[in-house]
């Protein structure tokens, strides 16, 4: 459920007309619903409540500080994968004690920033990283609480580019090697190796891969304890899927029940890292029709949003529902068209072969499920400025990131001295 619905034939975000936002802020524009963010966070937190969990919002899904603050006020922590995300989370009011620093390629700068901030935990992904972390921790006079991310070699049955738990993926320490790694790094100074972490992928719509991975993790925790390791932390990652088209994803309650059955007996402090589940359906991308172009055998709806604003369709062949902001008349004829942007790439499309009621120049469209992995993956390709983000709260809205200008982009560049 989300809080985007038609009222008298016009699409609203909560109690604010999307047409009004487009008129006043311009298009394209991302619009997020506070009520939807809050509802989805609470649904997940309730689903895993029996585990006394730490629920850390995956900042990579939507890193706007106003979105993070919305969730922090409900008690959310943050899962971060860069110094930039760490600073955003802390700027939004997430205490360091609720931040988990993940990521496969942490540099010395990353590790120093994490330790200086006093994050709850660092999820390490290789023995080399742990050796570097030990050096940095000793240098700073700190003791780092660490979980080692294991790779359980479980196929998440999702898109190949967002599957992270198979042996051929770059993430984590292969579970077949991990026992020896724990044994070696437990002797390193400056580390308290207290946990096991895993994350097998994103947009999972079946609990079976989770069951398999979590069962392996539970068995591994018990094995480590038998070796004398004091394992108190278990990070189960995120990745629970949402509905973009016709997917039927497990509910947070079903997921939580499964988790309790498999790892509840371990007595660990359990953490989770949902991102898309919370933010995905909490946002839309509003775009305006520029032209309708009739080809020989295709109809093109050319809009002012493009692949640089929403890259998921061309990157992942992802489906996003696209609906008119002003509802089409009941029974209107459905026409087949490609919905494309103005970028000079054949891959610049948001939908192909989509059935829509007739559209005209100037009509507004809402691209749904754009609250996660949309604004954060945007680029300035073709020197297109980043577009604004808007947060709706009841009957009011606020611009939480202004529209960039070309002048903003040029101001970041300089001529070399010899061109002066």
C-alpha angle 393/280/345, rounded to 5°?
Answer: 115
Taking the CB of residue 34, how many other CB atoms lie within 10 A of it?
21
Contact yes or no for 281/274 (Cβ under 8 A): no
> Is 268 among the residues known to form the active site?
no
| List of E strands, 198-247 | 233-235
Q: What is the DSSP string of 131-179?
A: HHHHHHHHHHT--EEEEEEEE------S-GGGB-SSTTSSSSEEHHHHH
Query: Please, is 399 exposed, middle or buried when counting C-beta atoms within 10 Å of its C-beta (0-12, 13-18, 19+)?
Result: middle
Q: In whole angstroms, what separates CA 349 from the centre of its chain?
A: 21
What's the Cα-to-Cα distance from 209 to each of 2, 156, 199, rounded to whole Å? 27, 5, 11
Contact yes or no for 284/5 (Cβ under 8 A): no
Q: Which of 56, 268, 301, 344 is catalytic?
A: 344
Taking the CB of residue 57, how many other CB atoms lie within 10 A of it?
34
Cα 31 from Cα 29, distance rounded (Å) = 6
Cα 124 from Cα 224, distance rounded (Å) = 17
Contact yes or no for 282/35 (Cβ under 8 A): no
Query: Please, is 281 exposed, middle or buried when counting C-beta atoms within 10 Å of its C-beta (0-12, 13-18, 19+)?
Result: buried
Residue 384, token pair as written in the block = 């297109």
Give catalytic residues, as residue numbers. Answer: 344
């Amino acid at each position: 459920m989300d809080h985007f619905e038609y009222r008298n034939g016009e699409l609203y975000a909560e109690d604010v007309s999307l047409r009004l936002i487009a008129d006043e802020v311009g298009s394209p524009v991302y619009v997020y619903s506070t009520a939807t963010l809050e509802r989805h966070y609470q649904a997940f937190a309730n689903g895993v409540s029996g585990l006394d969990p730490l629920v850390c919002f995956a900042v990579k899904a939507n890193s706007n500080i106003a979105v993070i603050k919305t969730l922090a006020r409900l008690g959310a922590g943050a899962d971060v994968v860069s110094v930039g995300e760490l600073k955003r989370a802390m700027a939004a009011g997430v205490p360091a004690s609720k931040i988990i620093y993940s990521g496969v390629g942490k540099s010395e700068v990353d590790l120093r920033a994490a330790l200086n901030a006093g994050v709850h935990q660092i999820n390490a992904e290789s023995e080399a990283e742990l050796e570097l972390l030990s050096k940095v921790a000793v240098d700073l006079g700190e003791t780092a609480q660490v979980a080692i991310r294991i790779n359980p070699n479980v196929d998440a049955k999702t898109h190949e580019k967002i599957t992270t738990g198979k042996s051929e993926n770059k993430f984590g320490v292969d579970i077949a090697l991990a026992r020896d790694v724990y044994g070696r790094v437990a002797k390193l100074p400056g580390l308290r190796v207290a946990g096991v972490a895993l994350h097998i992928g994103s947009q999972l719509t079946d609990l079976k891969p989770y069951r398999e991975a979590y069962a392996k993790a539970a068995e591994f925790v018990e094995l480590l304890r038998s070796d004398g390791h004091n394992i108190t932390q278990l990070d189960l990652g995120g990745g629970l899927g949402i509905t973009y088209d016709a997917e039927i994803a497990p509910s947070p309650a079903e997921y939580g029940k499964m988790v309790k059955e498999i790892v509840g007996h371990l007595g660990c402090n359990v953490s989770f890292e949902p991102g898309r589940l919370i933010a995905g359906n909490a946002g839309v991308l509003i775009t305006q029709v520029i032209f309708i172009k009739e080809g020989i055998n295709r109809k093109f709806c050319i809009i002012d949003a493009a692949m640089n604003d929403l890259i998921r369709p061309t990157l992942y062949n992802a489906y996003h529902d696209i609906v008119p902001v002003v509802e089409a008349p009941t029974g209107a004829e459905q026409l087949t068209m490609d919905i494309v942007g103005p970028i000079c790439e054949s891959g610049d499309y948001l939908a192909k072969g989509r059935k829509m009621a007739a559209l005209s120049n100037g009509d507004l469209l809402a691209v749904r499920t754009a609250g996660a992995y949309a604004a954060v993956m945007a680029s300035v390709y073709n020197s297109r400025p980043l577009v604004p983000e808007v947060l709706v709260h009841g009957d009011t809205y606020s611009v939480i990131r202004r529209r960039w200008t070309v002048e903003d982009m040029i101001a970041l560049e300089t001529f070399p001295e010899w061109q002066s």
